[in-house]
Amino acid sequence: MNNFTLPIRFAFALATSLIAYFLVLSLFGLHTNPFFSLFNGVITGFAIYEAIRYRRIETGEDYNYTTGFSAGLVTGFIASILFTVFMAVYATELEPVFLSELVSDFASHYDIGVATFAFIVLLMGLATTVVLTLAFMQLFKNKLKG
């Protein structure tokens, strides 16, 4: 099996889960509350952990730090890109007033464009991916062959 097949599957599942969570929040009008985005970290963490764990099961004795780390990074990076594309489309096509509602509480004097918003979403996703992958690799560190 290709080295990236498993992380790409988890990335699509992660992106789909994040999009579904966001759309459920938007049904209840809670998507503009930044507090609820904290659960994105839980969803992302679960997907990255499972990608690393399945990679360890898949490779067996050949598992090393690099294979686990790359599985986590690929999963998170691809999912972050997909979610960023969705958020950019959502903010421009589906709900054009979304950005102004999102920043109205704390930055009403700023003019936040879609590109800035998309960059921030992507940066948050990539940073979360790196931090969670490094943290989860500590859990699997003792399970590496010596």
Structural domain contains residue 30: no
Global confidence as pTM: 0.91
Structural domain contains residue 104: yes
| 35 token code pair | 């507090």
**The predicted structure's pLDDT at residue 104:** 77
Nearest partner of 47 among 146, 144, 125, judged by Cα: 125
Range of the domain at 127: 5-25+36-141
Structural domain contains residue 146: no
Structural domain contains residue 103: yes
Number of domains in the chain: 1
Structural domain contains residue 133: yes
For 97-119, how does the pLDDT look when each residue is reduced to its tens digit (9 = 90+)? 888 888 776 666 777 889 999 99
**The predicted structure's pLDDT at residue 110:** 73
